[in-house]
Structure 1
């Protein structure tokens, strides 16, 4: 992504360019050196005067293509200007502060060229209006996306929980996610033609039998005479639980975690 030019003009007889944005304006170290008549062959020495968090290397578009160069932050610029003994450094510092303050408060800096040229002023003002409208539209879209993400997060949390678990579940455990009893959920699934009852066990219709949604587990039932009998119970796999989630959602049943 190309480095954005925030503002460009002539200042105190020098080419003056602000890169980045209003929150984090950046200034090309080579430009700064030229402003204060610093040796251009020693730009790295100038950059070494500031802390690491006050400088950054970025690709800057030039006539020869993009080149990686040093840029100074606002604090880094003020530090270099303050250390310079050249009178022009003090003037530049004052002007830069004035320009940034004006841009931040009004969104633009009214130069003499603008003030003396009504047509140019109208053109710049129109561009500013269009940019602000586009920014507002973008902010609205970002808010919309934020709302959508917020709405989808509960679903993602629930699905993540399903995918992370490897255990088998009985229908009562799944029903609990929906605020239902196992009996009520079995009835819903029967009405949706997912399962039917054979003896004491719920079985899937042939359409779903080979999908890996359920697993039959044998359990021992203690009888009143002290003997035991073995019965089969249907348990749901996590794949089956995810299937139920999509099926129930399509039919108006949401897990409690996704409800408002």
Structure 2
């Protein structure tokens, strides 16, 4: 148990170094690859594990020992490397202190044993909750992947085409007004100024909006008036 307590998750490391978790996983994979001739050493530094994300999925991660963190820190230079070193040293010192404190608290009665057990469970749950929140925040604020961004663009084009059919044959200018309307709505519901600022947490909300989107009365009027001007 103490060996596990003396580790940091790759999710925590990602938060500490300001990188996406998938990037940290790739970094660790490269380090392990370089340690091909020292597999036993690598497994002592980076322990394969899993965690549960906010949707309940079980996803891979690593548990990094102190030496694993030291090795990972060698990949970074300058202020980031220094900041990470300070962060993980502080965390491991906290864990060491906690383990020592627990070792000193030897219960002498059943009541004390129960109290110690509840105290330990409470502390563990609080730490897990904090880590899960940080992981969730990191995942939700990740920039949309190119694939997800392209999918949103395709759905917008499809929805505009569906609505445009209700106006009969439309010109590019009329179609442009419809695109302007739907894009304005996307930015409004997500609070971004451009679609390139969309984050992973916006993905499903935007898809739902696109499905339900109808142009405003003003936009419909403009599109119809453009027919009269042609």
Counting strand residues as a fraction of each chain, which structure ranks higher? 1
Query: Shorter-chain-normalised TM-score: which range?
Result: 0.3 to 0.5
Structure index of larger Rg:
1
Higher RCO, 1 vs 2 (CA within 8 Å, ≥6 residues apart): 2
Counting helix residues as a fraction of each chain, which structure ranks higher? 2
TM-score (norm 2): 0.35
